[in-house]
Amino acid sequence: MGQLQNFTKGFIRENPVFVLLLGLCPALGVTTSAFNGLGMGLATTFVLVSSNIVVSLIKNLIPTKVRIPSFIVVIASFVTITELVMEAFLPALFEALGLFIPLIVVNCLVMGRAEAFASKNNTWSAIIDGLGMGLGFAFALTILGGLREILGAGEIFGWSIFAGDGMLVFVLAPGAFIGLGYLVALNNIVKKKLDQNA
Amino acid sequence: MVMTLVIVAVAASFTLATVYNFTKGPIELAREAARQEAIGKVLPDFDELRTEYIMPVTGRDSLEFNLAYKDGQLVGVAVATYTAMGYSGRIRAMVGFTPGGEIIDVVHLEHAETPGLGDKIEKDKSDWSDQFQGFDPREETLKIKQDGGNIDAITAATITARAYCDAIDRAFQTFDANHPNLINKEKE
Amino acid sequence: MGGVHPPENKFAEKRSVERLEPPKSVAIPLSQHLGAPAKAVVGKGDKVQAGQLIAKGEAFISANIHASVSGTVAKIDGVIDASGYRKKAILINVEGDEWAEGIERDESLIEDSNLTAEEIIKKVYDKGIVGMGGATFPSHVKLKVPKGKKAEYLIINGVECEPCLTADHRLMMEKGQEIMVGASLQMKALGVDKAIIGIENNKPDAIAHLSKIAAGYPGISVEPLKVKYPQGAEKQLIKALVNREVPSGKLPIEVGCVVHNVGTAFAVYEAVQKNKPLIERVVTVSGSSVKKPSNFMVRIGTPVAELIEAAGGLPDDTGKVVNGGPMMGKALNDLNVPVTKGTSGILIFTEKESSRPPEQNCIRCARCLTICPMGLEPYLLSSLAEKQRFQDCEDERIMDCMECGSCLYICPSGKPLLDHIRVGKNRVGQMIRERSG
Amino acid sequence: MTEFLNEITLFSVISLGAIGGVAAIVLYMVAQKFKVIEDPRIDKVEELLPGANCGGCGLAGCRALAEAIVKAESLEGFNCPPGGNDVMQDIAKAMGWEAGEKTPMIAVVRCNGTREFAPPKVRYEGLMTCAFAHSLFAGEGGCPYGCLGCGDCVEACNFDAMYMDQETGLPVILDDKCVACGACVKECPRNIIEMRKKGKKDRRIFVSCINEEKGGLARKNCKVACIGCGRCVKECKFDAISMENNLAYIDFEKCTLCRKCPPVCPTNAIHELNFPPRKQKAEKAAAKEKEPGE
Amino acid sequence: MEYIIIIIGAVFVNNIVLAQFLGICPYLGVSARVSTSVGMSGAVMFVMTLATLVTFLIFHYILVPLNIEYLQTISYILVVASLVQMVEIILKKVSPALYQALGIFLPLIVTNCAILGVTILSVREDFGFNLLEGVVFAVGNALGFALTIILFAGIREHLDLMDVPKGMRGAPAALVVAGILALAFMGFANLV
Amino acid sequence: MKALTVSGSPHFHTEQSVSKIMYGVVFSLVPAMLVSFYFFGLPAILITLTAVVSCMAFEFIIQKYLIKGPLTIFDGSAMITGVLLAFNVPANLPFGLVVIGSAVAIGMGKMTFGGLGKNPFNPALVGRVFLMISFPVQMTTYPEPTAFTTKLTDAVTGPTPLTIIKDGVGRGESISSLMMQIPDYMNLMMGNLGGSVGEISAIALILGGIYMLLRKIISWHTPVAFLGSAAAFSAIFWLIQPEVYPDPVFHLFTGGLMLGAIYMATDYATSPMAPRGMILFGVGCGLLTIIIRLFGAYPEGVAFSILIMNAFVPLINRAFKPKRFGEEVKNG
Ligand SMILES: Cc1cc2nc3c(=O)[nH]c(=O)nc-3n(C[C@H](O)[C@H](O)[C@H](O)COP(=O)(O)O)c2cc1C
Ligand SMILES: Cc1cc2nc3c(=O)[nH]c(=O)nc-3n(C[C@H](O)[C@H](O)[C@H](O)COP(=O)(O)O)c2cc1C
Ligand SMILES: Cc1cc2nc3c(=O)[nH]c(=O)nc-3n(C[C@H](O)[C@H](O)[C@H](O)COP(=O)(O)O)c2cc1C
Ligand SMILES: Cc1cc2nc3c(=O)[nH]c(=O)nc-3n(C[C@H](O)[C@H](O)[C@H](O)CO)c2cc1C
Ligand code: SF4
Ligand code: SF4
Ligand code: SF4
Ligand code: SF4
Ligand code: FES
């Protein structure tokens, strides 16, 4: 698989949210708006890439028995760094994402990639993989956030699309599940079309 | 095996401590900036600010009273208040009073109310909270109309509106109870 | 519990039993009963007399087969029977109507018998008597109470709950005395002193007639029953008459009952008192467009086509011909199949009556579950079988299903419940056999 | 730099180090106490298997096969149809064993009773599965051996290697997709499908009928049934064809794919697959012979 | 009464899965069968209670006094990870059947936000829980998780027998079910 | 003679069919419909029509273009969903919202899972709750019942009895003083009270229920258990504190309790199959309804409680099987 494919697969074919169904909690929890989704996606990308780099660097130094705990510590460190930096410089976003920032640490996506990819590949591939997956994650969150924002509030990135209130459900918890459900279905269809063309 | 883990943990905590030390300053700055901004919104021009903490008439935690002076004159008091009656979790707000006790304005500091319903207390979501501007709690009652007060509730979010009134009322009651003290301070 | 009320359509209810002459040739299948096929004891070219043993049931569960006509054995070959498959049968060209020695053919009633239980059972076995209620289970096996068990009741099944069929009804009307004697013999064989004849309320004449006769036979009583399909099924009948439930996977003897059809009781009478083997039986030929719905006494092996001819011929709008009742019978794909010991009726459906309604989604109306006389969940069993989840089928007790067809009858969305369940039962049965080695 | 070495750093390092240390030690002790010995090779083998869990190996899924292989300490008698030889070689390599070559096999449908050759005589209504139709009667065409055409086998195939030909009403197997898992063979209630050697260049010759009835009877229901006339048996120089119960059977181990038998079959019951077209002359002769007589 | 309110709040009103969006991965992943979801619930309950107990102590007796709350995330995850591994090892020995059923999902508890989320929430300032309340809170959330996942598994088993349209089969239908379930649970709004 | 047909037994089939059952339900809804048309006038008629037409239209579109399966829009089930959805909203709901509700009910509530009989949740209630959460203002502004009117706008709106009680109790007023503000029980039974289109007349709904019982469309278990447990549970609270909790009769005849118990909790697809399961289901619904009415944020809890209990149905079906024949051997 070429590096380019390694990078692009995260968007549709192996989209972490739509296809792999990983990292769903933040995907549902913070996507009340496209902006929050994007912010969360980028924060996760940062953690993913950084921890991929470190894991691929230290993979040979760690005995297998404590591999997972060590990786977790690495990931947790980057999460804490993100937390601290965001609180210092982007306090509004920090407020909005709330609990879900520390929870990046348990995002199955991050751990999964560290385990399955970074610990077996060289640093360069790990970076590409992390970027691809991370951006795919951000892509999914932005779309879901956008959908919920449009339907729920009649806005997108804060820009008004139609006047009046939207359907409140989409801002609330059920809307997240429902929106994601139909997006996954849609992604399946798109993926099938792509596969047919390929 | 144990050693590796300890080493990783130590290395990680060292790195983190470094980052923490770096960001500690900016984080405090950001928090302070937010507070200042809120105070600025609910008070007229001032050149000096004194902060003290006063136990409220009701409630577990103390309130933060920011006494604002211009040319040595008390021009207003910004009270950071809270309520636990919100629809989900605590609501915190900054209420500005004139020295006489009239409300200058109210802004929210923190809340977890439902977007689209309870979040109408935010100034940029709705102008609902503008009705507090110039409200005199001595003349009128700081309660929603359903409860026999003078405040219009938020449609379909009565609970939030009631809670917001509760927070503001807590600030006012405490302000009122400590009124002589606060005015006296100005004379010192 | 459960049960349905399909339209009764008993067109031939009032038609007395007519005796049909033997046809030109008969085909007598070697497997007319539940259990192992009988072994032929005659060969091509042999001359046989009516009532002569032509195949011997040697296995534990098997039954003797006798020539139903006199003539020459043409060949022993595969003949399509009601199963739709070719099965081994003895084909006999009919020549005259000579009967084997010792068989009494006159109609006079012989009431007394001084045979012991063993001798009765031996006769029942010798004369190839099998259950006439549909399952064709060799009757002598049922009459031998297993060690450690005790029979308390003989139950005579005169329910005839299947719509359209009237063979048992006519038999009860015309051979009441004989049935009583047969039942008494069965009681003796079983060593019980109580026999109950269960008859549904839609046959008031039969209830009245038999009640009157039963007065003269100690221990035998007649019980009228509510009209409900499948009241005639063994376990349901026991429940209705003596309020006992036969446990899942167990035989009626578990609760001290043995059930025999009225036809069986009559056959037992004939075998024991008249030495007559089971070589003819009553068959109802009926259907909404049949010219002359009838009840015929016919020789085993007669082609079904001849019965239809005798009932006025095959109507033009025929869509389906069913061997047995409309609820449990088998659709025939060939009209030359022979009448066997288990053939209780030949029903002719018009084209309109013979299609099933189109299948729709199950609406989960719970009708199937409410009416299932075994307390099963047909909708669930059928979906599980459809999804090939046979282990789950077994856990849901699919093997308890007696294939009465009530569920498929009642389902408003036309789901082929019983079809799925049958496939499931087959596979589960296979699983169970594999498991036990 | 020193300004960052303040007490925060110190406390952080000490407490986190301690938490990590305590956690590790506790874990280590628990691990010692509750040790479960499981052969790590099972995981290794399982990883190499395709993970389709199709059951083609005859065991309950891939993990079961892995366990069985490791237990047996050899690959003898194990086969993973979807994975094929490659996987077996891989496992052998990983385990340090030898793997025997397996002859590639493929499923073939031994019925040619198309709607044309075996026209329907009755109308079937009800559940469209072969299993049920089989339990009910001989089939619309009347042949008690022939294909019922409801496609249970197609349904059973996990590899999309089969489809129902709507025109003929018979299933068709796709050479390049069938992995010889045998699911269809198991599924067919009439045992019509047989697993045969794939043959050189995918070429196969077989009798496309399993009807054991006598010639006349068989012919009555289906024009292309094997009538047990025995001409092919005589024709075969390699003793590959046997005759039992009025039915010819070609042993694929003995058959050399010489193509002599198909033309002599009077009912055209012998099929040849993936051969180049016959030469003109032979074809003519064959065509004359083969014309199914009424 | 206090404890009952905490539990009702956690189970119905602020259900961890349906309202807080925590632990969605196992919620979708391990809910295909009722039996496995019961096992998973048990594991989550055990780990969640234990983890909250330990992290509560760590937070209040190590992090707060030393002024290093910012290490919350990293220290918590260490504790959770080791706890899960311990449960895994013990389960493998004590109940191989359950271990087999949960299979790869036990390690997934580590990367399950429900556990970490609840441990962090239980020391949130505005709840002001004491130790016992914190633990009850954890139990309540675990019960909430159990309730939803078992209900959900029941519905998914039911859907298994239905022919859901191709495009919606699997995850999409499951997510819509979760959405409707969340809609229904809104009826509990403000119950406590 | 044509070819004989071969099929498995039985060869008889009931006269009942899906559409006969469904249209039977529609027929039984007619009295309630007439009462609501009387009290709410033209708007109620239009709302009902809109909902029915749009439900059937959405079912058609989805079956034809998305699922590409057989068309079943005339089996009557979409019509029931439409009628019941309309019955569950205020008569002055904007038509756009009715259409959205129908789309959600049919699209999300039903067709997502494959259509008739496969949906785990009651479609009409999914539509209603979706609207309730999305448009709380419009969904809680009820017109006052009047004699027949053709006016489409400017209906006088007012609180429903349940809202009066909920708000009043919230303010700390006593039940007896609040009861003065609501119609007497006779009027409540007839349907002269504020509320959703079809829920108002208990008498008409009970009439429809009796018709369905007689035609064996539904069994008594669910409605009786639902109403009984709601009455029993509310009675407990009422007996303890009659000034804080209204009496059971009030509960029975206000809000959607009758509509829910007779029509929505009995929906085949989303309720248990076995009688004992139905009873448990009904009791659960009644209990939750009263809990939500007395302690929750919403004045009415029928819709939520039925939806919540819908989620329990698969588990109930597992736990409460019909009594298997021969299970308990009672030899006597
Ligand atoms: C998911 C959900 C979120 C809600 N959020 C709020 C809220 O943030 N603030 C509020 O006052 N009411 C909220 N409500 C509504 C309240 O539960 C309650 O119905 C309402 O406050 C009653 O007020 P009303 O008299 O204005 O209708 C919410 C309801 C639900 C179901
Ligand atoms: C394997 C087998 C063994 C049986 N053994 C006995 C038996 O020992 N005693 C008895 O009374 N009936 C026995 N039966 C008969 C059944 O109880 C029953 O009468 C018969 O299967 C026909 O019943 P049906 O028409 O309701 O299906 C046996 C049946 C089977 C299949
Ligand atoms: C669904 C069903 C319906 C039956 N209906 C009758 C019936 O109406 N009359 C009858 O004699 N036997 C009926 N049987 C057969 C009885 O169960 C039982 O086998 C028979 O009465 C035993 O008597 P036999 O062995 O003498 O045939 C029915 C069986 C089943 C499974
Ligand atoms: C007794 C009965 C009650 C029904 N109740 C409802 C209902 O409450 N809501 C609804 O959408 N459909 C209802 N239907 C129609 C239909 O069953 C429903 O749309 C299914 O849920 C669709 O799968 C009902 C049908 C019957 C027979
Ligand atoms: S499941 Fe079996 S026993 Fe029950 S109704 Fe159907 S056919 Fe009869
Ligand atoms: S009778 Fe038919 S529609 Fe009703 S539940 Fe049974 S299978 Fe479904
Ligand atoms: S055609 Fe048969 S043998 Fe080949 S892959 Fe499919 S099921 Fe397996
Ligand atoms: S080959 Fe067998 S399984 Fe396949 S369609 Fe024919 S009969 Fe059915
Ligand atoms: S992201 Fe929450 S459990 Fe996976």
CATH number of the domain enclosing D54: 1.10.15.40
DSSP H stretches of helix in F41-160: 42-61, 77-87, 95-103, 123-134, 136-139
Q: D169: domain CATH number?
A: 3.30.70.20
Statement: residue D73 has pLDDT above 50:
yes
- Mean pLDDT score of chain F: 90
| Number of domains present in the structure of chain D | 3
Model confidence pLDDT, tens digit, residues B145-184: 878 888 898 887 888 999 999 999 999 999 888 888 877 7
Model confidence pLDDT, tens digit, residues C230-245: 999 999 999 999 999 9
- Tracing tokens 């989209």 back to the chain, one arrives at A15
Which chain A residue lies closest to F107 (C-alpha atoms)?
A: A182
Statement: residue A108 has pLDDT above 80:
no
How many whole angstroms from D193 Cα to the centroid of ligand 7? 10
Statement: residue A115 has pLDDT above 90:
no
What are the structural domains of chain C? 117-274 (3.40.50.11540), 367-435 (no CATH)
Query: Are the Cβ atoms of C354 and F5 closer than 8 angstroms?
Result: yes
* pLDDT band for position A91 (cuts 50, 70, 90): confident
Is residue D182 in contact with ligand 7, taking CB distance under 6 Å?
yes
How many whole angstroms from B146 Cα to the centroid of ligand 5? 62
Q: Would residue D271 count as lying in a domain?
A: yes
What is the helix (H) or strand (E) element at residue C221, kind and residue range?
strand C220-225
- Tabulate helix, strand, coil % of chain B (nearest 5): 45, 25, 35
CB atoms within 10 A of CB F318: 15
Query: For chain A, which residues lie within 8 Å of any Cβ of chain E, measuring from their own Cβ?
Result: 21-26, 28-29, 68-69, 72-73, 76-77, 79-80, 83-84, 99, 102-103, 105-108, 111-112, 169, 172-178, 180-182, 184-185, 188-189
Ligand nearest the Cα atom of residue C236: 3
Is residue C185 in contact with ligand 5, taking CB distance under 6 Å?
no
Statement: residue A168 has pLDDT above 90:
no
Model confidence pLDDT, tens digit, residues F80-103: 999 999 999 999 899 999 999 999
The C-alpha atoms of residue D137 and residue F116 are separated, in whole angstroms, by 33
Task: List pocket residues of ligand 1, CB cut-off 6 Å.
Answer: A 172; B 87, 113-114, 117-118, 155-160; E 186, 189-190; F 133, 140, 297-298
Structural domain boundaries of chain E? 2-177
**Higher pLDDT among residues C339 and B27, named by residue:** C339
Task: List pocket residues of ligand 9, CB cut-off 6 Å.
Answer: A 23-25, 107-108; E 23-25, 112-113
How does DSSP assign E2-47, residue by residue?
HHHHHHHIIIIIT-TTTTT--SHHHHHHS-SSHHHHHHHHHHHHHH
Rounded to the nearest angstrom, the minimum Cα separation between E30 and chain A is 12
Query: Are the Cβ atoms of A108 and E111 closer than 8 angstroms?
Result: yes
How many whole angstroms from E144 Cα to the centroid of ligand 7? 46
The C-alpha atoms of residue C11 and residue C349 are separated, in whole angstroms, by 13
Query: What confidence score (pLDDT) does residue E82 get?
Result: 81
Q: Would residue D23 count as lying in a domain?
A: no
Q: Give A61's contacts (C-beta < 8 A, 6+ positions apart).
A: none
Say yes or no: D121 contacts chain C, CB-CB below 8 A: yes
How does DSSP assign F159-207, residue by residue?
--HHHHHHHHHHHT--HHHHHTTS--HHHHHHT-SS--TTTS-HHHHHH
Query: Are the Cβ atoms of D23 and A73 closer than 8 angstroms?
Result: no
Question: Residue F69: exposed, middle, or buried by beta-carbon count in 10 A (0-12, 13-18, 19+)?
Answer: middle
Query: Are the Cβ atoms of D16 and B12 closer than 8 angstroms?
Result: yes
Q: Would residue D129 count as lying in a domain?
A: yes
- Tracing tokens 């598994």 back to the chain, one arrives at E153
| Helix and strand numbers, DSSP H then E, in chain A | 8, 2
The count of C-alpha atoms lying within 13 angstroms of the C-alpha of E180, restricted to the half-sphere facing its C-beta, is 34
Omega before D40 within 30 of 0, i.e. cis: no
Rounded to the nearest angstrom, the minimum Cα separation between B181 and chain A is 35
Task: Specify whether D293 is located in the same domain as D204.
Answer: yes
Model confidence pLDDT, tens digit, residues E119-168: 999 888 767 788 999 999 999 999 999 999 999 999 999 999 988 998 89
Is residue D108 in contact with ligand 7, taking CB distance under 6 Å?
no
Query: What confidence score (pLDDT) does residue E106 get?
Result: 65
A133: left (phi over 0), alpha (psi -120 to 50) or beta: alpha
Question: Residue F312: exposed, middle, or buried by beta-carbon count in 10 A (0-12, 13-18, 19+)?
Answer: buried
**Higher pLDDT among residues F21 and B19, named by residue:** F21
Statement: residue E34 has pLDDT above 60:
yes
- Tracing tokens 């405040």 back to the chain, one arrives at B151
**Higher pLDDT among residues B61 and A36, named by residue:** A36
Nearest protein CA to atom 7 of ligand 7, as residue:
D157
Query: Are the Cβ atoms of F5 and D121 closer than 8 angstroms?
Result: no
The phi, psi pair for C257, rounded to 5°, reads: -120, 150
Tell me which of D160, D195, D230 is where a domain ends. D195
Model confidence pLDDT, tens digit, residues F141-191: 888 887 776 666 666 777 888 888 888 887 778 888 888 888 888 888 887
Chains A and C touch (3+ CB pairs under 8 A): no
Omega before C230 within 30 of 0, i.e. cis: yes
**Inter-chain CB pairs, B–D, below 8 Å:** 49
* Subunit partners of chain D (3 or more CB pairs within 8 A): A, B, C, E, F
How many whole angstroms from B21 Cα to the centroid of ligand 5? 76
Query: What confidence score (pLDDT) does residue F157 get?
Result: 78
Model confidence pLDDT, tens digit, residues F111-140: 999 999 999 999 999 999 999 999 988 888
Nearest C-alpha neighbor of C347 from the set C366, C329, C359:
C329
Q: Averaged over F272-296, what is the pLDDT?
A: 95
Instruction: Give the dihedral sign, CA D48/D51/D54/D60.
Output: positive
CB atoms within 10 A of CB F35: 23
The C-alpha atoms of residue C339 and residue C337 are separated, in whole angstroms, by 7
| Tokens standing for residue D294 | 């009424």
Is residue C123 in contact with ligand 6, taking CB distance under 6 Å?
no
Is the CB of residue C29 less than 8 Å from the CB of residue C83? Answer: no
Rounded to the nearest angstrom, the minimum Cα separation between E174 and chain A is 7
Query: What confidence score (pLDDT) does residue D294 get?
Result: 39
Cβ neighbours of D141 in C, within 8 Å: none
Low-confidence ranges of chain C (pLDDT < 70): 1
Cβ neighbours of A69 in D, within 8 Å: 20, 23-24
Task: Specify whether D191 is located in the same domain as D113.
Answer: yes
pLDDT > 70 fraction of chain F, expressed in percent and rounded: 95
Statement: residue D289 has pLDDT above 80:
no
* pLDDT band for position B9 (cuts 50, 70, 90): confident
Domain membership of residue D88 as a residue range: 40-95
Say yes or no: B21 contacts chain D, CB-CB below 8 A: yes
How many whole angstroms from D191 Cα to the centroid of ligand 7? 14
Task: Specify whether D138 is located in the same domain as D224.
Answer: no
Query: Are the Cβ atoms of D4 and B21 closer than 8 angstroms?
Result: yes
Cβ neighbours of A108 in E, within 8 Å: 25, 108, 111
What is the helix (H) or strand (E) element at residue E158, kind and residue range?
helix E131-161
Q: What is the pTM of this model?
A: 0.89
* pLDDT band for position B21 (cuts 50, 70, 90): confident
| Tokens standing for residue C383 | 């979906």
Model confidence pLDDT, tens digit, residues D124-175: 988 999 999 998 888 888 899 999 999 999 998 988 899 999 999 999 999 8
Query: What confidence score (pLDDT) does residue B5 get?
Result: 76
The C-alpha atoms of residue F178 and residue F165 are separated, in whole angstroms, by 6
Which chain C residue lies closest to D132 (C-alpha atoms)?
A: C423
The C-alpha atoms of residue F257 and residue F200 are separated, in whole angstroms, by 10
Nearest protein CA to atom 3 of ligand 5, as residue:
C401
Q: Averaged over D207-235, what is the pLDDT?
A: 90
Nearest C-alpha neighbor of F212 from the set F284, F272, F256, F268:
F268
How many whole angstroms from C404 Cα to the centroid of ligand 3? 10
Rounded to the nearest angstrom, the minimum Cα separation between A167 and chain F is 5
Query: What confidence score (pLDDT) does residue A62 get?
Result: 79
Query: Are the Cβ atoms of D137 and C423 closer than 8 angstroms?
Result: no
Cα–Cα distances in angstroms (integers) from residue E184 to residues A24, F129, F309, in the given order? 21, 8, 9
* pLDDT band for position D1 (cuts 50, 70, 90): very low
How does DSSP assign C319-377, residue by residue?
EEEEES-TTT-EE-S-TTPBP-TT--EEEEEEHHHHSPPPP-------HHHHH-TT---
* pLDDT band for position D292 (cuts 50, 70, 90): very low
Is residue D107 in contact with ligand 7, taking CB distance under 6 Å?
yes
* pLDDT band for position D293 (cuts 50, 70, 90): very low
Say yes or no: A171 contacts chain B, CB-CB below 8 A: yes
Cα–Cα distances in angstroms (integers) from residue B173 to residues B137, B138, B167, C91, D182, in the given order? 9, 10, 10, 112, 83
Model confidence pLDDT, tens digit, residues E87-103: 778 877 877 776 766 65
Query: What confidence score (pLDDT) does residue D94 get?
Result: 78
Is the CB of residue A52 less than 8 Å from the CB of residue A118? Answer: yes
pLDDT > 90 fraction of chain D, expressed in percent and rounded: 29
Task: Specify whether D182 is located in the same domain as D244.
Answer: no
Model confidence pLDDT, tens digit, residues F11-64: 999 999 999 999 999 999 999 999 999 888 888 999 999 999 999 999 999 999
The C-alpha atoms of residue D286 and residue D280 are separated, in whole angstroms, by 10
* pLDDT band for position B15 (cuts 50, 70, 90): confident
Nearest C-alpha neighbor of E85 from the set E56, E106, E54, E58:
E106
Q: Averaged over A19-46, what is the pLDDT?
A: 89
Query: Are the Cβ atoms of F137 and B159 closer than 8 angstroms?
Result: no
